[in-house]
Amino acid sequence: MGYSLGDSQNSLTRLLIINLVVFITLALCRAYFFFFYQDTAQIEVVFSQQILQWFALPSSGQQVLYRPWTLLTAMFTNRGVWMILGHMLWLWAFGFIFQDLSGHRKIIALYLYGGLAGSLGYLLGVTLLPATYNAGLFYGSGPAVMAVAIATTMLSPYYRLFPQLMGGFPLWILSVIYVLISVATKPLQQPLTYLPLLAGAAMGFLFMQLIRMGYDLSEWMNGLFDWANNLFNPDKPLPKKPGVRDMHFYKATRKPFDKKPKLTQDRIDALLEKIHLQGIDSLTAEEKEFLERASQS
């Protein structure tokens, strides 16, 4: 299944574009400070205090109450070329398969759930680990991408990758490689960095497990997206209000009564005479039905 940037049914592309737009916006804002400061360390401090704190999740629950939107924006905030490149490549690799197998209406909800779980896992870790109370800002697409990876693996663990090369290899091997790389690139002396990834993985598992049980967590979110899209779409035709006649009457599929003429020998003889003189094609539908009933009685 092919997708293009202009495909309105490609939710994966929308996620990639949002992440790239946020990354480029932050990069331009950081570059702006080079006109006023020469010290790189000072630029980082000013950028973090004036720009980054409005996108990243703070470590204090009280500060989150003043900036609640950071629960959403943190999952789209990536700093550094390697960070954005790595996250987007893994998101494309797993997201493409997930969207190909399940359609385009679940991946955005899955990504948001995974990112939200990662943010809540970070706040929970700060609360449970007093030594990390001043851990700083949290940001990155890692937990959201982890949720997509785990959900895709649960959806089809034996999905064949590169089948042209000696039959390829199953998807679960790629998932193991991704998890190992994600863990290996985190500092072992900072357990707080693992909790968001673990929370994202748990959300991906829970998302697919609930779908198998018949509960789709993306339905209400898709309904909200559809409502917002229709609200700001002036070209959408308004629903036609049914008239009183259609609302209250004429709902039956047959007539309220069916008038049938009484079978009489005189009537039968007259119709037979008509057939003899003019042929059977001269009979009306009612006359044919009358003769049929006469022949069965």
pLDDT tens, position by position, for the chain (297 residues)?
444 444 556 899 999 999 999 999 999 998 888 888 878 888 888 888 889 999 999 988 788 889 999 999 999 999 989 999 999 999 999 999 999 998 888 999 999 999 999 999 999 888 887 665 556 889 999 999 999 999 999 999 998 888 777 778 899 999 999 999 998 888 766 778 889 999 999 999 999 999 999 899 989 888 888 888 777 776 666 656 655 555 444 455 555 555 566 667 777 777 777 776 776 777 777 777 776 777 776
pTM of the model: 0.74
CATH topology of domain 11-231: Rhomboid-like fold (1.20.1540)
Range 292-296, long-range pairs (CB < 8 A, 24+ positions) = 293/260, 293/263, 294/263, 294/268
- For the chain, give every domain's residue range: 11-231, 258-296
- Distance (Å, rounded) from C-alpha 292 to C-alpha 297? 9
- Distance (Å, rounded) from C-alpha 102 to C-alpha 42? 47
Q: What are the residues whose beta carbons fall under 8 Å from the beta carbon of 83, sequence distance 6 or more?
A: 140
- Distance (Å, rounded) from C-alpha 42 to C-alpha 1? 48
State the first-to-last Cα distance of the chain, in angstroms, to the nearest integer: 64
Phi, psi of 18 (to 5 degrees): -60, -45
